[in-house]
Structure 1
């Protein structure tokens, strides 16, 4: 179904999925500079005209493909669990998914293409806003009094980005729980850290 609640033709659904998968693979293998709609069309078996009809701009296709390959987790009722799920998702994207293979291309595109930078930043602003809302909910509930939700979100995500791009260290599992405890306060482990 589409956002408007109208049932989408199954062929369009299959084509869309094939294009998004092919776009991520094209991005990972060719880099942002080598990413072409022709390459995506060849990989997906979907006509260029169909791809352009669905995504008129290359930057929109790339962002849609990255979202599709690693969608955000559903919101949790508990603010700490929600923060943990969002950070765990980011850790997974950076280390265990096709998104990780695309990181050099994402950085390249953000630096070299203003259109991609704008779309990419807008998509990440929405993701960051969700993390800020989760932290703010914890502040409002009294879990993390006197916490600046915006700065806390930047510190949490910044630690993951720094660990992934600048070190050989991975912040995952219990270490991710300790990071949340250091930045937000409270217990250094939570129910999400089991397993």
Structure 2
């Protein structure tokens, strides 16, 4: 298996550093070919050799900067693990302008088409939210505390309201709101033995 050409890797790194700086200071709209090439000192043709479209460059930049939820300690009770994880997701969605910008950009219906950087970004976002939650749910199901169920639906039930509220401009979720989300979720998934 051959490794990437070091010159190409350097060019990609410079382009992504410039795009990251622009994205953080001005949002996705600031990441233009002219702005990125000017800031990075990399030629336009090199940019297009590395990223076939502006959407590809923006998606790769978001993926590079993607914040991930904090995984809760495994020794805690399931409710506490879900609360810690839901709180971490809520803080990421509500506090990080980058996270809001990325979710809004993806929600605008960016298509993967021939450009699979957008697809990689979508998968990275999904994995960053689903992997830790799936682990907590698996532990709860394996221990008999939770009724087995659709884990992707569980992600939507726990993280979806927070994401939607942020994207359409509703008030931020409080600690009590997160507790209610988790408790409502658990009411439907706890086994009778665990109640």
| TM-score, reference length from structure 2 | 0.63
- In the aligned structure 2, how far is the partner of 1:21 from the partner of 1:41? 13
Q: Please state whether the residue corresponding to 2:27 is helix, strand or coil.
A: helix
Task: Give the RMSD, CA atoms, in angstroms.
Answer: 3.9
User: Residues 15 and 173 (structure 1 numbering): CA distance in 2 closer, same or farther, change over 3 Å?
Assistant: farther
- In the aligned structure 1, how far is the partner of 2:89 from the partner of 2:33? 28
Q: Does 1:61 align with 2:57?
A: yes
User: Residues 82 and 62 (structure 1 numbering): CA distance in 2 closer, same or farther, change over 3 Å?
Assistant: farther
Greater Cα offset, 132-141 or 149-158: 132-141
Equivalenced residues, count:
176
Residue matched to 1:24: 23
Q: Which has the larger radius of gyration?
A: 2
Residue matched to 2:193: none
- In the aligned structure 2, how far is the partner of 1:86 from the partner of 1:16? 34
Residue matched to 2:191: none
Q: For residues 119-158 of structure 1, what are the structure 2 equivalents within 5 Å?
A: 119-130=120-131, 131-158=133-160
How big is each residue's C-alpha offset from its partner over 1:34-77, in whole Å with a ceiling of 9 and x where there is no partner? x5333322244444344444434443432222233232145444
Deviation, 1:132, is 2.9
Q: Please state whether the residue corresponding to 2:146 is helix, strand or coil.
A: coil
| TM-score, reference length from structure 1 | 0.63
Deviation, 1:151, is 1.8
Deviation, 1:170, is 1.5
- In the aligned structure 1, how far is the partner of 2:85 from the partner of 2:43? 37
Where do 5+ consecutive residues of structure 1 fail to align?
A: 187-195
Deviation, 1:114, is 4.5
Where do 5+ consecutive residues of structure 2 fail to align?
A: 189-195
Residue matched to 1:37: 33
- In the aligned structure 1, how far is the partner of 2:19 from the partner of 2:83? 28
User: Residues 55 and 93 (structure 1 numbering): CA distance in 2 closer, same or farther, change over 3 Å?
Assistant: farther
The answer as to whether partners of 2:94 and 2:100 remain within 8 angstroms in 1 is: yes
Deviation, 1:182, is 1.8
- In the aligned structure 1, how far is the partner of 2:166 from the partner of 2:174? 11
Q: Please state whether the residue corresponding to 2:128 is helix, strand or coil.
A: helix
